[in-house]
Structure formats: C-alpha cells, structure tokens
Amino acid sequence: MQKTAYKDLASSRRDFEGVLFDLGLKLQCDVWLYHAYELIEKLTDVYKNIVLRDEFMKQQGQSEVYSALQDIASIKNILPQIATENKKTLKRKFAKILRMEPLHLESPDHSEARNILWELEFLSSLKRAGLKASLGEPNPDILALIGTRQYYIQCKRLYSPKETALRRNIILAVEQLERDLSRESKNTLGMLALSLERPFTGDELMLVTESAQTGTEKLRFMLDKVIQEYGRLWQDPLLIRNPKIVAVALHIMIPGIVREENLFVTGTQVTINNTWSDGQGFEFVVEDFSPLKEALEY
C-alpha cells in the first residue's frame, strides 16, 4: 500500500491549480474539490491532536473528510503523468471533473466526473508501470503499448454490484472496442478495464485497518471473490465475441487509514485475465500480463 502524508496531499493544490490555469480553467470556491482541499488543509493542522482531530471529524462529517482524502489523492496521483497529454482533451475532461460531487452524494446519474477521474488514474498507473500510454481522442479511452502490440483500452467504472450491471458494462465496452478495432490493423488488440471499488467494497469510503499488510490482504480477498463469482462473464463468447478483445483488467483501489500509525494509505489490487481461455474456433492471442499486474499493484 502507498503511504501519503496529509501535508503532501494538501500541497498538491498548487500543482493542480497550475495545471488548471494552463488549461484555461480555475478551481472556483463553489466546487467540491476546492472544499476538499480546505478540509485536508485543516486536517493537516489537527490530526496529531486526538481531541482536535475527533472534533474536526465530527463537525465536518466523517464521510465528507474521507471523500476529500480519496479525491485529492487521485488528483495528486495523476498530475505528474498527464503533462504530455493533448491539452484540448485534458481541458474537456477536467472541466467535467470540476463538477464532481463528494463520493457519498454520488448517484448513477451523476457519476461521469468521477468516472473520468478514474480513467485518468488508470492511465497514470500504466505510465508509472513504465508503459507508453496516452488518452484516446475521442476513442478509445486509452491507447497503450504492451509488449509488441498496441492495445485499445476501454474503461468502465461500475456503480452497482449486480451481475446485470457488470454484464451491461462489459457489453457497452465491447461494442465500443469492436467499432474502434474494426478500423485498425491485426496487431492492435482490445482490453476492458473495469473499476470495481464502488460496488464491491460494500460502499466503504475508507478502509480502516490495523496495518498496511492487513489492508492489502482484504483488497486481495475482495478481488478474488469477484473473480470467483463473475469470472465466467468475460470468458463468455456471447458477451465478448471478438477474439481481438483479449483481456479484461479488474481494478480495485481504495484509500485507507492505518490506525496505529495514523497514516493515509492507498491500496491497489489488479488482475488481468485473458478473455479467451481456449481457441473457441477463432484465432486468438494469449498474452502474459503478469509483469504488468505486478507493476500496477501497490
């Protein structure tokens, strides 16, 4: 798990405002992320004093503070990785991110901003793992060079834990990838990237754990449970018909607090499965994604 000091989260505000300025945008005082930074700046001042910290959490609301920690951690993570991206594309995406609401107020009809934020975070994870990756414009969501092949990656952040929702998101991603891949060479393949933390963590906004190791084990358990219950879906040729769509990346990232150390941490668990477990009569590709999986996890 990745440890981050509250003061480092707070200090990312200057970098964020600088990026927005370059894009012709501004962090206005009436948006959630402005308030989120203010919360973290106050938390930085009081967290060492148990009485003041508990009073602060009670006054501000635990869900509000946890949501601020999660969102600002995401902003901090992506800022170093997006400098080379197309400015018009970034401006369009950040304009929507600035309309984001706190996580505990999010609804299925008002989740686009955080969906985009996760898309940028997954892109940043790929870059930190050493891959050549960039945003697609307008599609796919991400282009990445994995091994010797170019991959089109379609990102979906799930909201509901129901199997019908997972099935629907797979279908939507497959339809988009099929359209994009139809115009590309044989060497370009497709991957689905599914964000699972919202539906499959039981809506836990913060993982409070006794140690970083315990937190990692809990995330691993969550991901294994998803694979056991739903793994058949991404190996169903009725859902993923095109053999050029060869992999699905399952991603769980949840922030946490290590109780004994009073640290803010972020844990990520990833698994990348080949969608075609056998030939099924099609020409297919089996890629070894284990090095990428290891690079993405922390």
CA distances from 296 to 2, 204, 293 (A): 12, 22, 5
Whole-prediction pTM value? 0.88
One-letter amino acid of 73: A
Token pair 């933390």 is found at 197
pLDDT tens figures, 157-189: 988 888 898 899 999 999 999 999 988 777 888
H/E stretch holding 75 reads helix 62-78
In the chain, where the domains are located: 2-296
Residues 6+ apart with CB under 8 A from 137: 86, 88, 89
Distance between start and end Cα atoms, the chain: 5
Low-confidence ranges of the chain (pLDDT < 70): 1, 200-206, 259-267, 269, 273-298
Dihedral sign (CA 151, 156, 157, 160): negative
Q: How far apart are CA 257 and CA 279, in angstroms?
A: 45
Look at residue 283 in the predicted model and tell me its pLDDT.
Answer: 41
